[in-house]
């Protein structure tokens, strides 16, 4: 948000509040019902909303109070991605220190962040909690487990939280562009259109956590970058939170290339599922090699998730167990 004093008449003033990367309806409501509430709470002020700009005119003391409270409303939105009538009334009734202490209390309840529409995003299983706790003391973390265990979702949540807390300047999300039973060459569109389906799970997670306008802004200015693994070659990722997803489909040289991109003040999470390797038979998964040779390197931790961490439909757990049982029978037979 930017704010500009427009004029300073003898008994009053004007101020312009410009909402940046926030849709006005997210703050004021689809029918501007929360703007009407603000008008009732500040009867001495004239509030005029045009597009993404709110002009406020009136008594200087009231204008200063409005600015203080409106900044708290925007701060709440940045934290929780949601504003309600109750939010505005609570902010009006409380001092700034009380509002900040309530936010701190929520953060102490193992909540990673609040996503769109106030959705609570937190670690929900013992191994997801281990991921969160491990990342406090390790700059590089491998999270390995089957589909549905929340490893990618938890990693993205940690990255978004770090960005919001200004612990990093940008997020880099990447995946190997491996043809899982399909030929990229026969898919329609340019390179981006061919690759986007492979990166879709990362977009889905981000959409849960960041409002659409803000996410679009982050992607446009490269604060959040989503790209195939091959695009990482030759780069140094400073002050970044980098996630390599589906790392089981990276070759040994590709995974080594990614790991050595780590720059100053960087955090890395590598996720993968060694039961779903799509590489040609003659190529060894870089994830398997890394598990063997990096497990004793100080500063790197490995978290192994399993069917007890599955947070999808209950049938997913049964499917995983069935496949594991079939694999054991084949190895014995």
The domains of the chain are located at 2-107, 111-332
pLDDT digits (tens, 9 = 90+) for 122-135: 888 888 988 998 99
Asked whether the whole model's pTM tops 0.85, one would answer: no
pLDDT digits (tens, 9 = 90+) for 13-36: 889 998 887 889 999 988 899 999
Instruction: Specify the CATH number of the domain 2-107.
Output: 3.30.1370
| Distance in angstroms (rounded) separating the CA atoms of residues 270 and 302 | 9
| Distance in angstroms (rounded) separating the CA atoms of residues 14 and 7 | 6
pLDDT of residue 5: 44
Q: What percent of the chain has pLDDT over 70?
A: 83
pLDDT digits (tens, 9 = 90+) for 69-84: 999 899 888 888 888 8
Task: Check whether 295 has a pLDDT greater than 80.
Answer: yes
Q: Which residue has the higher pLDDT, 181 or 323?
A: 323
pLDDT of residue 88: 85
* Token code pair at residue 78: 């940045």
Domain 111-332: homologous superfamily in CATH: P-loop containing nucleotide triphosphate hydrolases (3.40.50.300)
Query: For residues 39 and 47, is the Cβ–Cβ distance under 8 A?
Result: yes
* Token code pair at residue 203: 């977009």
Q: Which residue has the higher pLDDT, 48 or 84?
A: 48
* Token code pair at residue 28: 């004021």
pLDDT of residue 148: 86
Quote the mean pLDDT of the chain. Answer: 82
| Distance in angstroms (rounded) separating the CA atoms of residues 285 and 270 | 13
| Distance in angstroms (rounded) separating the CA atoms of residues 300 and 312 | 28
Nearest of 104, 219, 226, 210 to residue 161 by alpha carbon: 210
The count of other CB atoms within 10 Å of the CB of residue 281 is 6
Which of the 8 DSSP states describes residue 233? T
pLDDT of residue 261: 95
């Amino acid at each position: 948000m930017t704010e500009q004093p427009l004029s300073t008449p003898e008994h009053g003033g004007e101020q312009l509040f410009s909402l940046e990367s926030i849709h006005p309806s997210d703050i004021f409501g689809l029918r501007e019902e929360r703007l009407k509430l603000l008008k009732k709470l500040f009867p001495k002020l004239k509030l005029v909303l045009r597009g993404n700009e709110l002009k406020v005119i009136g008594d200087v003391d009231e204008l200063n109070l409005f600015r203080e409270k409106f900044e708290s409303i925007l701060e709440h939105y940045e934290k929780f991605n949601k504003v309600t009538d109750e939010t505005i009334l609570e902010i009006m009734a409380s001092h700034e220190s009380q509002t900040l202490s309530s936010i701190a209390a929520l953060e102490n309840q193992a909540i990673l962040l609040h996503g769109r529409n106030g959705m609570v995003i937190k670690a929900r299983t013992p191994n997801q909690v281990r991921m969160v706790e491990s990342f406090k003391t390790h700059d590089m973390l491998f999270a390995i487990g089957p589909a549905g265990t929340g490893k990618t979702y938890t990693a993205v949540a940690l990255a978004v939280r770090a960005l919001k807390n200004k612990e990093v300047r940008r997020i880099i999300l990447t995946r190997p562009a491996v043809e899982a039973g399909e030929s990229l060459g026969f898919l329609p569109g340019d390179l981006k259109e061919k690759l986007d389906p492979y990166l879709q799970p990362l977009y889905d997670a981000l959409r849960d956590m960041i409002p659409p306008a803000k996410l679009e802004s982050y992607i446009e200015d490269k604060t959040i970058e989503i790209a195939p693994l091959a695009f990482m070659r030759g780069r140094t990722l400073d002050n970044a939170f980098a996630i390599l997803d589906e790392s089981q489909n990276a070759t040994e040289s590709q995974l080594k290339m990614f790991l050595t991109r780590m720059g100053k003040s960087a955090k890395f999470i590598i996720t993968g599922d060694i039961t779903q390797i799509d590489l040609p038979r003659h190529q060894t998964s870089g994830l398997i090699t890394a598990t063997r040779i990096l497990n004793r390197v100080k500063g790197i931790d490995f978290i192994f998730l399993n069917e007890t961490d599955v947070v999808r439909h209950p049938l997913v757990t049964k499917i995983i167990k069935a496949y594991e049982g079939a694999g054991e029978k084949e190895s014995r037979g």
